[in-house]
Structure 1
């Protein structure tokens, strides 16, 4: 079964190691084999990864698209997980889900789970009172 992708005009998509940019019209195509695919909206640039959850997402993205360096990425991932859990133990359930997917080498779904962690992280930060107020 193939994966159908529909791109808006000028939308970018990462397929394997190639970045494709659509032309002036909406395009539809089918991917017939298993390969890493990320739409432009799901791609995080390293400079945009400013929170612990975002850095974790970026690292998982690297695992997904650059399988040649998995050992390095996995090592960094587990170090970051330890730091996040020690700073915010309430993230444990999110990190367990992500870690399970990482161990299954299901990086695409790990990215989706990391997005949920990032949303939770926003909630945590929004509840922290500003120390300069008061």
Structure 2
């Protein structure tokens, strides 16, 4: 797999953080877990239930050797979201994310959750001001 990075960009590979000082193309020759800086969510951006879930999964991907606490938080978040989510699109996306996490495919789990952000925004926009959770 080839990955192109711009000057100053970072990539997270198997828990290591690499920052390049010039435009570079990396060729990954084996099966690694990686996350591009453009897909990294900062803690302050995790402002909705699904964004918090994304942040937790991201933590597990970025620190694969130290993810027991994040995995427990992830389980709790799935339980909470499953009990409060009534939209079938959210439920199906959560099931997909769970399967990916069980298969240790964290990047795929992130993609599944990230794909739910527009649905969550749509649902939150249609709710009364006092009830701002995933429905």
Q: Give the TM interval when normalised to the shorter protein.
A: 0.7 to 0.9
Matched, 1:37 2:34: yes
SS at match of 1:89: coil
SS at structure 2 position matched to 1:97: helix
Aligned to 1:107: 106
Higher relative contact order (CA 8 A, sep 6+): 2
Q: TM-score if structure 2 supplies the norm length?
A: 0.83
Structure 1 segment 12-51 matched on structure 2, within 5 A: 12-24=10-22, 26-51=23-48
Paired residues, what number?
128
User: Unaligned 5+ residue runs, structure 2?
Assistant: 131-135
SS in 2 for 1:29: strand
For the pair 1:83 / 2:80, whether they are aligned, the reply is: yes
TM-score, normalised by the number of residues in structure 1:
0.83
Quickly say closer, same or farther: Cα 1:129–1:56, change in 2 above 3 A. Answer: same
Larger Rg: 1
Equivalent-residue separation in structure 1 for 2:32 and 2:50 (angstroms): 25
Structure 1: which 5+ runs fail to align? none
Q: 2:15, 2:64 within 8 Å by CA — same for their partners in 1?
A: no
Cα distance between partner residues in 1 of 2:8 and 2:91: 39
Q: Which residue of 2 aligns with 1:52?
A: 49
Q: For the aligned residues, what is the CA RMSD?
A: 1.8
SS in 1 for 2:26: strand
Structure 1: how far apart are the matches of 2:15 and 2:99? Answer: 25
Q: CA deviation at 1:82?
A: 1.7
